[in-house]
Amino acid sequence: MLFFKKYGTILIKLLLYNIVLSTGIVAILLFSNNSTGFSMLTILVLLVCIILSNLLFTFFLLKSQTRSMNQILQSFNDITSEKNLLNGEELESSDIPEIKHWAKGFLTNINTIVKEKNELVVELLESKKLLEHYSNNLEEIVEQRTEILKWLAITDPLTGLYNRRYFMEQLEQEFKRSRRYERDLSLLMIDIDFFKRINDTFGHQTGDLVLRKISSIVESQLRDADLAFRFGGEEFMVILPETSLQDVSNVAERMRTEIMHSYYHHDESEFNVTVSIGIISVKCNQVESIDSLIRKVDDNLYMAKKSGRNQIVAS
């Protein structure tokens, strides 16, 4: 039907053209009748034949074109009747199974990729937590190691007292504070009497035991603000901030007495040791530097030893 609607006018014109052409041929034959000798019946038969041939030609043309158009329309209907996969509709062509298989594989790959992505995200989050945990632990370890190294840098490994380098730093700070605020500062220097004889008689291990014991006694007599140091060999220093000469003398006497009454054993031998102590108070002396302070307290220690040892000399 679509073919007749679209091409009907052209076919009618073609038919009329053939009729006119046939009529013209008949007219020419009629005009030339006298010369050809055709009868009227012959001409009419010829005209009918021409018309019939035109009708047959048109019929076969219409039939052929109609078949072609029907094929085209059928193909078009097949195409338009197929449903779009993207809209979730089902196709009817032979390609549908292949397309469905491809779509199924594609969705499977997408789901696999999404699953792998989610697993990777979970692994990354777990790795992040693990790294944060290790990082925190590492920071704690570093802080602990730093504190240990700092402690080792300022501590005498044998006695556990602060070492000479830290003594110089602390003495300078306390000396400056004493002069700035006009507060007293006392310094105490201790030396073990005849310590070389102890090492030679009982050995260095026994000498180390004596050093540790005396260090413990010295620390036991101090306040929290006081600081004790191993100055070198058998010598010790004690810084006593805001301590008068009388108070530091009392502390020194308690130390001397307890050390003197402490006994040590080596094999079957028993012995004790004594100490000489020098004391200096900043307020009682004209001291301009820490070097001068150390020199004066060392002079007092020398006087204590010269006086017979196991003595205290203060100034």
Q: What is the pLDDT of residue 41?
A: 67
Yes or no: say if 227 and 170 are a contact pair by the CB < 8 Å rule: yes
Q: Please report, rounded to a whole number, the percentage of residues in the chain having pLDDT higher than 70.
A: 69
Q: What is the pLDDT of residue 143?
A: 85
**Considering the chain, what is the average pLDDT of its residues?**
80
Beta strand spans in 49-203 (E) = 185-192
> Best-predicted range by mean pLDDT among 12-26, 129-143, 155-169?
155-169
Between 10-24, 137-151, 241-255, the lowest mean confidence (pLDDT) is in 10-24
Distance CA(227)–CA(238), nearest Å, equals: 6
* Annotated active-site residue in 169, 234, 268, 270: 234
CA distances, 60 to each of 51, 66, 142, 263, 288 (Å): 14, 10, 103, 144, 138
pLDDT digits (tens, 9 = 90+) for 176-229: 999 898 889 999 999 999 999 999 999 999 999 999 999 999 999 999 999 999
pLDDT digits (tens, 9 = 90+) for 105-121: 778 888 888 888 788 88
The CB-side HSE value for 160 (13 A sphere, CA atoms) comes to: 9
The residue-averaged pLDDT of 20-41 equals 59
Between 21-25, 241-245, 271-275, 295-299, the lowest mean confidence (pLDDT) is in 21-25
Q: What is the pLDDT of residue 2?
A: 47
Cβ neighbours of residue 53 under 8 Å, at least 6 residues apart? none
Q: What is the pLDDT of residue 15?
A: 62
Does the annotation count 234 as an active-site position? yes
Compute and round to an integer the Cα radius of gyration of the chain.
63
pLDDT digits (tens, 9 = 90+) for 37-95: 556 666 666 666 666 666 666 655 555 555 545 554 555 455 445 444 444 444 455 55
Q: What is the pLDDT of residue 36?
A: 52
Q: What is the pLDDT of residue 144?
A: 87
Yes or no: say if 275 and 256 are a contact pair by the CB < 8 Å rule: yes
CA distances, 176 to each of 181, 182, 209, 222, 285 (Å): 9, 10, 36, 22, 15
Output phi, psi for 137, to 5 deg. -65, -40
